[in-house]
Structure formats: structure tokens, C-alpha cells
Structure 1
């Protein structure tokens, strides 16, 4: 469709226009290369404990061997419910190495959401941290899976792990009562190591992940990501970052993994890419604990790559103690998952000296579609340009390409685009055009240089008296007002106008009033875009990655 591909002329030197996947048959093969190449490097650091690539190789292979003792049929799905701890990586890699598919489960899910995902995916095994076992307990009698493997927080952390478990269970009371038949992870690993591992025959068309969409707009669906999809995206991001890494003679890259790796952005751009590069992954189990997170950052001036979301950057820069954090080796801050606001980006740049390079992607695209180059000098507000082998077109409601500078739906074609939605052929047909373009549901604008800007989610658009209003724009304006910590905007039905704008605000200053917000909006926005209603709330409803979930505000 997009025969022009205007972005290609803006690629950095050395970034290929097209990807080459020749030579790799699966993600497993790619990662096993790292195990061979970097056995003595530290792969993971969690709560001060370090695990080398050699150990990760053995542990993940033992887990794979254990799964192979269970007599599962080819293509079985293994559900994994962990925050960022080594057990997640061990189980995820082990599942792939055994030739099965990973079903990532958000550890903050309720029993209802967990039940939906287990039923929908048909997972046969659930691997879960004991901190969340009480959630499964509520649905355990439904026998949704054949076996449950349970791990404790400190299980892979050596002698220190004993203390961590004591604190988690008895002092912080992070583990609630639960009781159902299960096997402990260390028992499973022991059985696996005694059993021996037989390497399955994996190919690019095999399913690697069932990645459930955030469900921010409704029921969560499983995006079928093949080895080919994820492999392509790892290599796409790697080639994109290469110019920034070329002349830095770093002995080893250090990735900060603060976003949960059960989320696709952190999984590919942090976990898998990091291991591909033989990097050290610093795992943050609870990024919501901002005080603890800042203490961790103080100990790690060696961080090179820092992927995050707007709410995380926002939470950090508004803490006075963050000013003492020094990140002299920070090369790239990547902002994804949601729109990064200019006010947040500018303050981040001022405090760290590194601008936020915004990117864009979805669960359905493994995830990266567009990203700014790592050499940007300041926050651009755009999501950059399509990565190699990726075509992006902006289409109107009739599927016709719109001129540069005109808003329309962002549609994507490339090797990272999913095979379809799990067991939902009709929905797959609705979202993937006959030409193979995935309809993202996001409204965007492309300029004549090929740079893309996100306007908003199509479903979140508000129509006031026939005028289109995009919540992101209003939120950006309101967030500039002193005294506003966070805000979110939705549309409310209105008899005369069709819809009106309502703004929800979390205050920074207690004396902020509705009248002040309305006056501020009067000065900044035309009348149809101004909020007619203002509600002050204590906190925003957020997904596990920190995305504000507007549908919860609609009630």
C-alpha cells in the first residue's frame, strides 16, 4: 500500500531497510546462542542476588525437562503468573525450550480475569508465585488446569531467599492462606534435572506466546505470536538500537526491567532483547514501591537502557529523593505502553540528561511498530517511524489511505504482526485486512517524512456536537496546570450535544478547585473541547503496567 515509505530516507546509517531472519529457526535457538557465548556473564539480578547465563541455561532446561515428563500434547499452553523475578524467566524460557507456548498472566489479575484467561487459552499447567495463590484458590475447584506449580519469592535467590521468604510471609504478610494440590518449583526442577531433556523440533511457525490484550476496551483476547513474530521484533529493535551502541565499548549492557515482563513491551524490549545481547537484566518485582525503586536506582549507576511508561516516569520525577539518583551510563530511555506527556518528558530530560525516545506497539505486533531513533536530542511528541520491514499506513473508515497530515487509523504490516486472535477467526478477519494490514484501533497522523504521531484510541474519541475530540489532547493541556498530578478524560452522553467532556483529576494541591480548572481550560481550549464536568478522585484506575484505564471511569 505505502509504496512511498518516506521514513526510509531518515534511517540512521547502518540500520537495514529490510530484516533478515535467515539462520534462525526459533527464539530458543537465538537465546541458546547467548547461553553458549556468555556463560560467565551475570544474566539476572534480583533483590541483590545474581544468576549467571550458565545457571539460567541449566535451570530453564531443567524446567523444560520437567514439563516433558508430564505427557503434554504438542502445542500445549503453559500459563505463567509472576512479577519480575528469576522464576518468571526460568519458566518462560523452559516452556519455550520444551516446545510449548507461554500464556503470560498479569499477576494483579482477579480470580474472574484469571479464570477467563485459563479457560480461553486452554492452558494445561499454571506456574504461579505463592503471593497470588489465593487468587487461584477461588477457582481451584473448577479443575481448569491439570497441574499447578507454585514458587516462593525467595526460591531462586540462594541463602538470602530464606530471609526474603520469612519477611514476605510473616512480616510483610504478602502471602495469604491457600491450599490446593500442587508441586513446588524446586521439586519440579529437581525432577527435570534427573530426567534429562530432549530437544524438540521447533520452527518459525510454531506458537511462542498467547499474549492477551490489556482488555482496556473490553474482553481480553489472546494474540497468537509465533516464534517468527517475536524473533523478527527482537532483531528489528536490535538493529534499531545498534547505532547507539556501536561506539560505546561497553563490556556488558545493563537493562532495567521495571515493567512487568508478562506485558509484551517489557517481554520483548527488555527480557528477550536483553538476553539476546548478553545483557544483565535488573529485575524490579514491584515498581509500584517507588521508595524501594529509587533505592535500587541509587545502587545502579550502571543502567544503560531504561524502558518505562509515562506513569512510572511521572511517579519518579515527582519524588524529591529522585534528584539524588545519578544515571551517568544511561544511553536510552524508551517510553511506550501509553502516550508520554511532554511535561513529564521534559522534566525527565532535565533530571537525567537523557530524553525519552517514544515508541509505539501493541500485543498484536510483538510489540514494536514505530520508535524514535536513540539519538534524539529532545522529546519529539511523535512515536518515531516504522522499524525495518514494517509498513504503516493511515486509513480512513472506508479503508482508503489518507493524505499526509490527516488523522486516520494506524494500520500495520510486517513480520511482527500476529497470526491472529486465539480461537476467534471472525475477530481476526475484522482486524486484519485482506492485504495483511493489522487495524490497530489507534488514530494517528503521518507527516511527509514518515514520522507518526498518535492522536488517541479510536474507541475513546468523543464527538461533541459533531466535532471530534481526542482525550489525549485535553489530558495533555490539563496536566500542564499547576496542582494537577494526573488526569483522564472521557465522554458522557448528552441529550443535545451527543456527548460532553468530563475530566477526572488527581490533585497535587488540596486547594485546587473545579472553577480554577474550568477557567484554565477556557484559556487553553475551544469551547467544544472544554470539560463540562470535573471530578476530583484519590487515584486513577490503572492496568498492571500503569496505563490509565478510561473504561473504569465510565463505570
Structure 2
């Protein structure tokens, strides 16, 4: 779309009062701002063409319901749906007033808050594209994202965050303006700003309010700004998935991509008017973002919290739902077990015994309910299954009274402490089976889902009525999932393990300015290769797996990307390359899939290690070097050489032999076979992270 000549200027509020010589071309969200369109819009309240359209529907249906509560920012904020819609309208018009044009990119580097939501939706409503990241990213990573995306301005979380960027980041960019979501402009490093226009959140919303009032009072909107509607195919946001090395990959998600999620997630989370959700994930994470958009269309109340206040807020707000990553459920699991362990000996024994009984009760239920996982394509023998069915029924009937006693004596207290009366939704990583089984046993439903940034993100999830542990459930509506052979590329039958590929309206438009990576990930038929290994559960008419058919089971990643249990994606190549520059490290494989932090398997350069030990005079009396001292030396090297990386390595282990072609740990082209290394040291890795 051609940009207007005034797009690069920063007009004052008074500029809205006078009509320019030539009309400015603008875009708007067709339902949200239908009053700005020539002849008004003929859309109904349920026809969404752009993501911000949802706020018009929500304000119509739930005007006085409280939409958001943000208690930990200053000032604490509580908005109804009507007020939230107005904030978004004012923010978007404020951006237009200072010259933001359609299709321009604004870097939104901030953490979760109600004002982040307004900024995100306000930017989208102008037809501009937000480029998102959080404050925990390194300065270099943020710089690469800003420059690669060709952002024209910077929206930051707070003065403290801006001042962190002032020395290494701000001097290298030339933003049209800078905006603060929270805090006082007087706290900004004035030397870093210089001649750059600086706005606060209130500056923008007040400017937008004045501009809107001027438009309506003068009746000149047809003369001043020619508004076009945002198309569903327009890019709504850029989300970067890469680290600071290599070519950045900015995922282009369109309004159509995100609207697919908004329209189709209710089967997974059947939210109702007044349901309360706790929000604590980074909002730039596609999982948190799409879920937030969706749940607001059902009149829910969202409370913003942090890891620090999570335990307190679970008890205080008693949410019906929490949408989070596996790490949060692991933390709750550990907290509950610590509480049990701190009880008296008698209470501890009773509680742990009852939990074990409930776990056995649940295993028996799976057999007769038909939710036992199996990749066997053959139909089970009816007679054999009936014997198992009768035995499972007997065991469940025997354990049922004790399971109900556990509900009264133990689980009731847990429920009152953490709420989550309907479900916890887990995504962004693999949910550990022991955590999954524990919450099922105590009667707290945790539904695991699957998706990627490139798929907006949800492609499959467990349903409330069929929550089969060990799977990520059935595909969401309008989504196809197939498993392909890694070598031949042929579609595999159910039960066979291969590369998972996705096709559907939520699949990204592509990687920004990266056609080669786009073509590698997306084939001509629209299938997106996830890089994940998995299989689809075969369909059975009878037997212990009869309700599992069509569900997706994941078993790891074919590509190198490591997904931590926090939901963060780590490209290990950057860290391995940095660590490999140390003379003491011969080979290294970074590990940590589904763990809280990274680890590493290291093959040391023994000659160099010994030489360094001599220089430091740390050899023992026999001229030998103990393993503990070698580990300490390697830790020191990792700290030095990976200091600039976005992620740090935690526990390490020393391999018992080098990785070679002969032992199968390297390819003929001398590349380390990461999957073979991790398979060889699987037990050691499990022990390492314990």
C-alpha cells in the first residue's frame, strides 16, 4: 500500500484539527473502527476480518464485565471490556496522529501487562506490524531483530529497560520515536534520547482521544484520511525464533492465521463468561498471545501475575484456568511435594500412600475407558481385552473408596490452595509424564497441547472430554497432520514414527526476507515441516486404545533446536561454536530438551587441559589431575567463552570417548550426530539433570 507523505512526521495534537491538502491513506480494523470507513461497514458483530475486530464484539456482549486486572504495575489497573476497547481505539489513533502508516514495523520490546495488550492491538488496528520480544533478551539479539525487521520506532517496557539499552542499542538505531509503556519520562537517560521524540503511554492515548474527537466533531474524516480495511491476508506481527547467530528468522503471521486460533480453540478450552485466567507467560510468545486473544472473546477475566506472585495469586484469585508452560506445572508439583514432606511423619505417609493408590486407580481406569496408548495397528483380541477389562474394573472398584478418601483428606486442600478448578493448559514444551500423572491422580485436569510459532501456534491439543496422557491430542479444526518418512518423504501409516508435518490456515505466511528458509520449511502444497519426530495413534474399534485413534504422540526433535520446559527455544549451534573456541574443549554437544536449563556433554582436549593445569599449579602430588578439577576448569572455560550468548550452560558431563565416525557418533562429513550422542548417554543425562 502506498505510504502517505506525512507518515514520517510527528504531528502535534493540533494537526488533527486542520485538513491536509491531499487525503492521507490509512488502514483500520473493519469492525472495530467501522465508523471510519466510507459508507460505514456492513459487517455484523461476529464477522472478524482482522484480529482487533474481536474487541468490538467483546465490548458489545460484555460491556461492564471486568476484562483485565493488572495489580503489580504502577498504577494498578482494572478495565472493563468497554474501557479496554476504548484504550485500544485511543492508542491506535494516537499512533496515526504521530505518523505511523500501514505496513510499517514497530518494535514492541516489553513484558506481560495490560498496556502490552493495548499496544499490541493498537499497532495492529492501524495496519502496522508489531515486532515483538521481551526484556530478558540480550541487547545484541534485540538489535538484530530491530534492524532485520526494518522497524521504524521502538516501544519499550519501562525507563529501567530503556536505560539498559541506552549505551549498546539506542546509538546504533535511528528510531522515528520512542515510547514508554510504563514509568516516567523523566527517568529516561536524556543523553541517549537527544533529538528522538519520546512519548509515554498516556501521551499516545490522550493524543489519540483528541484526534478522534476532532475527526468526529468536524465531520472531516472523509476529507482528511481515506481509510481502507485491513485484509485477513495482511501480516499482523513478526515473531523472531532465532538466536543471535546465523540469519534471523522472523515468522510472518497474518490476521487470518491468528483468527483461525481465535475461532477454533474453544473445543480445547470451553471458556465461559466470568471465568478467571491467570496470565504470566511472555506475551510475545505465540502460545500465550493466541490464547489471550481467544479467551477474551468469551467474556473472561484475565489477571496478570508473575512467577514471584504465582503461588499467592493462585490462592487469592482461584482461577478456573491457567495457561502456561510445563515448568509452571513442574514447579507446582514440587511445591506440593515439599508441603507434604514438611508435614508430620504420619501425615506424610498417609498422603503419599493415598497418592500412590490414586495413581493405580487411574491406570486401571485407562484400561476400561480405552485410553491406553499403543502404536500397534492390529486389532486386539476381544476375549483377551474382556479379561483385562474385567480385571481393571475389579481393581478400580477396590481402589475407588480409598481414592475418594484421598480427595477428602488430601486433594481438597491442594485444590483450595491453587484453584485451577477447570483446567491447566500446558504448551510450549513437553510435559513430564510423572507431573502429568500426578495432576490427573489428584483431580486437577492438565491438557497438553502442541504447536509452533510458525503455526500461530496451536495445531493439536487434548480435549477436556478425552484427555489422554502421553499424547498432545487430536488436531484442531481445519488442521491436517501427517507423518512422513525422514529418508523417502513418503507419508507413513498410523503407528509409524517419522517427521510431523502440518497443513492448515494457521500456517505462517513465511519467514520475513528469508525465502530460502521459507522454501525449506514449506513445500509447494502448503505442508509445514515441524522438525519433530512423532506418530499418530492407530484407530481401534475395541480394546484399551479405542478412544486414542488419531491422536498425535511426540518423541523428540529431528532438528537441533532445543525447547526448554520454560517454552524458550535455543539454537545450540551458537553456544557450541563459542565454547569450541576454547583450547580445552575438543568437542561439545549442548543438551536440555524439555529441561529447565541447558547442559552439555564435553570431550576435553586432554593435552591442553593438562598443560593448563601445570600452568595453574593444580596437579596433585602424583602429577595427576582429578576429575573435579577438570570439571571446574571446563566450567570456567564455558563461562568465559559463552558470556555473550543468550543462554548459559548449567550442568556438564565428560564423555568417556571422543565422537568419531568409527563409533557412529559422527557422520561421514564429520558432523556430530546429536541424536546418537544423546541416545548413548541417555541415563547419564537423566542423572545429570536430577
Using structure 1 for the length normalisation, give the TM-score: 0.73
SS in structure 2 at match of 1:51: strand
1:375 is aligned to 2:404:
no
Unaligned runs of 5+ in 1: 1-20, 156-164, 170-174, 463-469, 476-485, 501-525, 539-555
Structure-1 residue corresponding to 2:210: 194
Aligned partner (choices 46, 50, 53) of residue 29 of structure 1: 53
- What's 1:438 paired with? 528
**Structure number with higher relative contact order (C-alpha < 8 Å, ≥ 6 residues apart):** 1
Equivalent runs, 1:299-378 vs 2, <5 Å: 299-301=316-318, 303-319=319-335, 320=338, 323=414, 325-328=416-419, 330-350=421-441, 353-376=443-466
Shift of the 63–399 alpha-carbon distance from structure 1 to 2, 3 Å rule, reads same
Change (3 A) 1:195 1:360: same
Report the equivalent of 2:481. 392
Deviation digits for residues 416-439 of structure 1 (CA, Å, limit 9, x no counterpart)? 001111111111111101111001
Q: Is the Cα contact below 8 Å between 1:233 and 1:368 reproduced in 2? A: yes
Deviation at 1:473, TM superposition (A): 9.8
Shift of 1:536: 5.4
What SS does the aligned partner of 1:294 have?
A: helix
Cα 1:535–1:404, aligned 2, differ >3 Å: closer, same or farther? closer
Is 1:298 the equivalent of 2:398?
Answer: no
SS of 1:326's equivalent? helix
Taking a change above 3 Å as real, the CA distance of residues 108 and 325 of structure 1, as seen in their structure-2 partners, is farther
Q: Choose 36-45 or 112-121, whichever is displaced more.
A: 36-45
**CA 530–139 in structure 1, closer or farther in 2 if over 3 Å, else same:** closer
Shift, 1:529, TM fit: 5.3
Q: Secondary structure at the match of 1:296?
A: helix
Shift of the 44–317 alpha-carbon distance from structure 1 to 2, 3 Å rule, reads same
Question: Is this contact kept in 2: 1:118–1:144, CA < 8 A?
Answer: no
Aligned-pair Cα RMSD in Å: 3.5
Q: Is the 8 A contact 2:170 2:192 kept in 1?
A: no
- Partner residue of 1:280? 301
Residue 83 of structure 2 corresponds to: 55
SS at match of 2:112: coil
Distance 1:136 1:442 in 2: 36
Partner of 1:479: none
Match of 1:90 in 2: 118
TM-score (norm 2): 0.59
Give a deviation string over 1:31-89, Cα, whole Å, max 9, x none: 32112221211111111641111111111111101110232332111221222111101
The answer to whether the 8 A contact 1:149-1:183 is kept is yes
For 2:421 and 2:121, locate their aligned partners in 1 and report how far apart those are by CA, in whole Å. 28
Q: Which residue of 1 aligns with 2:165?
A: 136
CA distance in 2, matches of 1:177, 1:330: 49
Contact 2:140-2:244 within 8 A present in 1 as well: no
Gaps of 5+ in 2: 1-44, 216-224, 340-412, 539-548, 563-590, 597-649, 667-677
> Deviations along 1:175-217, whole A, 9 cap, x unmatched?
9998424221211221111111776511111111112225499
Paired position in structure 2 for 1:414: 504
Partners of 2:88 and 2:507 in 1: CA distance? 27
Distance 1:383 1:177, change over 3 A: farther
Match of 1:457 in 2: 557
C-alpha distance 532-359 of structure 1, shift in aligned 2 (>3 A):
closer
* Contact 1:345–1:356 under 8 Å retained in 2: yes
Matching residue of 2:665: 499
Q: How many residues align?
A: 446
- Is contact 1:224–1:420 with CA below 8 Å preserved after alignment? yes
Distance 1:410 1:65, change over 3 A: same
CA distance in 1, matches of 2:659, 2:479: 41
Q: Is the 8 Å Cα contact of residues 98 and 200 (structure 1) preserved in structure 2? A: no
CA distance in 2, matches of 1:128, 1:45: 21
> 1:105 — aligned with what?
133
Q: Does 1:260 align with 2:282?
A: yes
Hey, what's the Cα distance between the residues in 2 that align with 1:277 and 1:489? 49
Aligned to 1:232: 260
Structure 1 residues 83-107: Cα deviation after superposition (integer angstroms, max 9, x where no partner) = 2111101101111111211211122
SS in structure 2 opposite 1:104? strand
Q: Deviations over 1:379-418 (max 9, x none)?
A: 6111111111100111123321122222211100000001
Q: 2:105 aligns with which of 58, 77, 89?
A: 77
Secondary structure (helix, strand or coil) at the match of 1:441 reads strand
Q: Distance in 2 between matches of 1:527 and 1:424?
A: 33
Give the structure with higher Rg (CA). Answer: 2
Distance 1:427 1:318 in 2: 40
In structure 2, do the counterparts of structure 1 residues 335 and 489 end up closer, same or farther at CA, with 3 Å as the change threshold? farther
Q: In the TM superposition, what is the alpha-carbon distance from 1:376 to its structure 2 partner?
A: 3.7
Provide the rounded CA distance (Å) in 1 between the counterparts of 2:263 and 2:553.
24
**SS of residue paired to 1:454:** strand
Aligned counterpart for 1:447 among listed residues 510, 533, 537: 537
Query: 1:203 and 2:368 equivalent?
Result: no
Q: Secondary structure at the match of 2:266?
A: helix
User: Contact 1:119–1:144 (CA<8 Å) still a contact in 2?
Assistant: no
Deviation, 1:499, is 2.9
C-alpha contact (below 8 Å) 1:474/1:529 kept by paired residues: no
The answer to whether the aligner puts 1:148 opposite 2:178 as a matched pair is: yes
Is the contact made by 1:460 and 1:490 (CA closer than 8 Å) also made in structure 2? no
1:177–1:265 distance in 2 versus 1, CA, 3 Å: farther
Q: How big is the shift at 1:23?
A: 3.4
For 1:392, what is the secondary structure of its paired residue? strand
* Counterpart pick for 2:519 among 415, 426, 429: 429
Helix, strand or coil for the counterpart of 1:445?
strand
Larger helix proportion, structure 1 or 2? Answer: 2
